Amino acid sequence: MEQHQDKAEKALKYAKSLGANEASVGFADGEGFSVTARNRAIETVQDYKDQSFNITVYLDKSVGSASSNNLSESAIKATIDKAFSLSSLTATDDCNGLADKERMAPGAKDLDLYFPWNLDIKEAETMAIECEASALEYDDKVINSEGATVGSYVNQSLYANSHGFSGETKSTGHSISCTAIASDNGLMEMDYDYTSARHYKDLQDHKEIGSLAAKQALDHLGSKKIKTTKAPVVFSPRVSSSLISHLMTAISGSSLYRNASFLVDSKDKKICPEFISIREEPHLKRGFSSCYFDAEGVETVPRCIVENGVLKGYLLSSYSARRLGLDTTGNAGGHHNLIVEPTADENLESMIKNIDSGFLVTGLIGYGVNIVNGDYSRGANGFWIENGEIAYPVSEVTVAGNLKDMLMRIITIGNDPEKKGSIFSGSVLIDDLMIAGE
């Protein structure tokens, strides 16, 4: 990004010459590919390369932002001019401005995020075909697929501002996925599996992904509807992170200062049982949301967001923090890696064994979540549990409740998290939820 460092300095200098009180700039370069196989042949090959420049200027507490994909000197100046013209159209807001200078990250940290995959398109095509074939050959009832995809990308970015801060990140991401379709007695079920990692060596085997997708589609054959009832519900690791994601939305600054959250004024209050703790680990090696500075250059630090059931902090940018009369938490751009501490030495299998009658959720459909009041209602599929065993697959039901109540009803968090994203949560068992069926 050395070529962009010089451009960033010139852009900030030009913004200052136009009268900006403060300014920040960002440069990004990205390239990658994805290959999809379907019906044992290559269906699509996508190869991309892009670049971008963005500028935000602050002029007497008004703000203007503009961006461009053209990084020529004249285009950058034109983009800065555009940001200035937009700033003259926005209202002044005392909360506008860069994060405080003393909060800037002091130095770079190597977080092990950059591992380019020397995989050519032909090799990727072979892997995609073999991945899908592994699904199709798993069982005669697997009749089709929605395809198998192999993808890889490399990103580089630079953020700089008029405080003199400049920070660079280089990262890679690689993934393999497959969606299989199984059929029996004229009824069809579809399911998927995937693997993703910063380092290609951390990926699961591509043939294994195909086989797992097939197995999961087969497991859902013969799905039944159930009568409306209340019962314990287990959210498998595949879907449990969504519950934590809703919690993070509720404690984000934009939700809080708009009074659009069921957790307004909940800091230092108990929001879930005392055996639950959630840590934020921004410096996790190879993490999908690891960074040593946030989107404003603020230093990131590990911390406990929920400790022994008590909400210890929000997710704040400098703007939302000022609106709330608080300090930024280094979360401009969102949360960093979240670790939900297991509450016991239990996993999905042992949880099922301890349930007399209940519902295991393996898939969620739609987004029926109201963060303002916490109302939760999502379509779900999975399996009915009887006497500690999987009895039969279930589809077309709705799991409903209120997030505030659901958080307090958590009984167990397992030690079996998936590590394919930025939220590491094991299976979550919640007592006495409404399951709407027939």
pLDDT higher than threshold 90 for residue 369: yes
Q: Grade residue 3 by pLDDT with cuts at 50, 70 and 90.
A: confident
pLDDT band per the 50, 70, 90 thresholds, residue 249: very high
Query: Region 409-429: what's the mean pLDDT?
Result: 96
Q: What pLDDT, in 10s, does the model give residues 395-404?
A: 999 999 999 9
- Among candidate residues 63, 80, 103, the one where a domain is terminated: 103
pLDDT for residue 19:
95
Share of the chain above pLDDT 70, in %: 100
pLDDT-derived band at 6 (thresholds 50, 70, 90) equals very high
Q: What pLDDT score does 367 carry?
A: 86
**Domain end marker among 103, 125, 141:** 103
**End of a domain among 81, 103, 125?**
103
Q: What is the CATH number of the domain that holds 95?
A: 3.30.2290.10
Same domain (yes/no): 403, 266? yes
Q: Say if 148 falls within a structural domain.
A: no
341 assigned to some structural domain: yes
The total number of structural domains that make up the chain:
2
* pLDDT for 168 beyond 90: yes
Across all residues in the chain, what is the average pLDDT?
Answer: 97
Question: What average pLDDT score do residues 424-438 get?
Answer: 96
Kindly state whether residue 330 falls inside one of the protein's structural domains: yes
| Position 94 in a domain | yes
- Domain range for residue 318? 229-436
**Domain-located, residue 260:** yes
Length of the chain: 438
For 106-131, letters b (16+ CB in 10 Å) and e give eeeeebebbbebeeeeeebbebbbbb
Question: Does residue 186 form part of some domain?
Answer: no
In a domain, 156, yes or no: no
pLDDT at 176: 98
User: What pLDDT is recorded for position 28?
Assistant: 97
Is there a domain that residue 167 lies in?
no
pLDDT digits (tens, 9 = 90+) for 301-358: 999 999 999 999 999 999 999 999 999 999 999 999 999 999 989 999 999 999 999 9
For the stretch 200-221, pLDDT in tens is: 999 999 999 999 999 999 999 9
Q: Is the pLDDT of residue 1 over 70?
A: no
